[in-house]
Amino acid sequence: MEPFTALPGPANSLVVGHRIPQPDRAVARAARRYFDAKRMSVRLARQFVTTTLAAWGITGGSTEDIRLCASELTSNALTHGTRRGHGFLVGLSAFDDLIRLEVHDSRDVSPERHPQVRHAAGTQGSGRGLRIVESLAQDWGVDRREPFGKVVWSHFKAVPEDQQTGLVQRAPRT
C-alpha cells in the first residue's frame, strides 16, 4: 500500500469552516483498503480500522469512536455513494496528534446529494449516521475526488496507548 501523499486543502473543501491538516504536515503512518459494494464490507472495514489502529498503538475510547464513525461512513458509502460495479476505499492517516479517517466513494457530490447531518424523527430507521460522526469526531467534511466521486473524512485526536489515562477527552471544535 502506498501512503497518502497529500491532503485536500481548504480550497477544495465542500464543507465550509472545517479544519483540515496542513498539506505540508507529515503523515507518520497511512493505510488504505478497497472494499466491494457488499453488505459484509461494512464489517470488514470496521475490522480493518480496528486492526490498523491497534498496530499503530492507538487503542481505547478513541478507537471505538473511529470504528463507529467508520461503520457509519462506510454504510453511507454503500447505500448512497457507490455506483454499480464500484466499491469504496477506506483510508487512515496518523499524524502526531491526529487520526484522519477517509471513505472514498464513486458517486459525485451535488447539491441534492451532498452528505449533510439530518434530523431524523424518533421512529425513522435511518438518517443518524452523520449526526453520530459529528458528535464523535473533532471535525468532518466532504471533498471532491478526481476523476469522480467524493471523500467523506473525519478527524480524531490521536491517543497513543502509552499516553492513555482511561478517560477520552475531546478537543473543542474549531
pLDDT averaged over 10-residue windows placed end to end, the chain, 174 residues: 34 38 68 94 96 89 91 88 85 91 81 56 56 86 84 84 48 49
Q: Which three cell numbers stand for residue 93?
A: 492517516
Which uninterrupted H or E stretch holds 173?
none
User: Alpha helix locations (H) across the chain?
Assistant: 40-55, 61-76, 129-136
pTM: 0.71
pLDDT for 111 equals 56
pLDDT for 129 equals 62
- 144: exposed, middle or buried (Cβ count in 10 Å: 0-12, 13-18, 19+): middle
pLDDT for 58 equals 86
pLDDT for 41 equals 94
pLDDT for 16 equals 32
pLDDT for 25 equals 62
